[in-house]
Structure formats: structure tokens, C-alpha cells
Amino acid sequence: MSDRERSKAKGRSKEEGAEQEADSAETEADLEALDDLLDEIDEVLEENAEEFVKNYVQKGGE
């Protein structure tokens, strides 16, 4: 968790000043949090999305 917090802080300073075209409904902090979240998710997302989705077939149940 603490590692994650550190990388979060790092991400924030790196991206300061960048990406100013924020949707007015969302605050800058929200966007930063979302970017940070997506960066984290990128690391665990299935690399081959197409294969992953194609192979997920469930038959039978209930």
C-alpha cells in the first residue's frame, strides 16, 4: 500500500501542468486520480484482451 501511495505522489508531480483540457464537470484532482488508477490497472490488465475475451465461454449452470 505504501509503495502504491508513493507512486501516486510521484505520478502527481510528474503530471502537474499537463493535460489541462479537463471536462468542466470533473476537477483536476479527480482526473489525476483517474489517471493514476488507470496506470495501476494497466499493470494487471490481460495483455491479450482479444484472446482473453474470446476464450471466456461458460456453458451450463443454475
Partner 1 sequence: MAIHKVLGTETEFGIAVRGDTGFNPAVASSLVVNSYPGARVKVQWSYEEESPGRDARGFGHDTFGLIDPEGAVVNSVLANGARLYVDHAHPEYAAPEAFDPLEAALYDKVGEWVMHSASVEVSKISDKRVSLYKNNSDGKGNSYGAHENYLLARETPFGDVIRYATTFLVTRQIFTGSGKVGSENGRQDVDFQITQRADFFEEEVGLETTLKRPIINTRDEPHADPSKYRRLHVIIGDANLSEVQNFLKLGSTALLLAALEDGAIPDPLDLLDPVESCWTVSHDTALRHRVDLDGGGTATALELQWRYLEWLNKYVEKELDEPVWQQVLEEWERVLVGLEEDPMSLSNTLDWVAKKHLIEGYRARDGITWDSARAQAIDLQYHDVDPERGLYYRLAARGSMRRLFTDDQIKAALAHPPEKTRSYFRGRCVTDFSDALVAANWDSLVFDVGESHLKRIPMMEPLRGTKEMVGRLLDEAETAADLLELLGG
* Residue ranges in contact with partner 1 by CB under 8 A: 1, 4, 34-35, 37-38, 40-41, 44-46, 49-50, 52-62
State which residue, 29 or 49, has the beta carbon closest to partner 1: 49
State which residue, 16 or 46, has the beta carbon closest to partner 1: 46
| 3-state SS record for 15-31 | HCCCCCCCCCCCCHHHH
State which residue, 9 or 38, has the beta carbon closest to partner 1: 38
d(CA 24, CA 17): 16
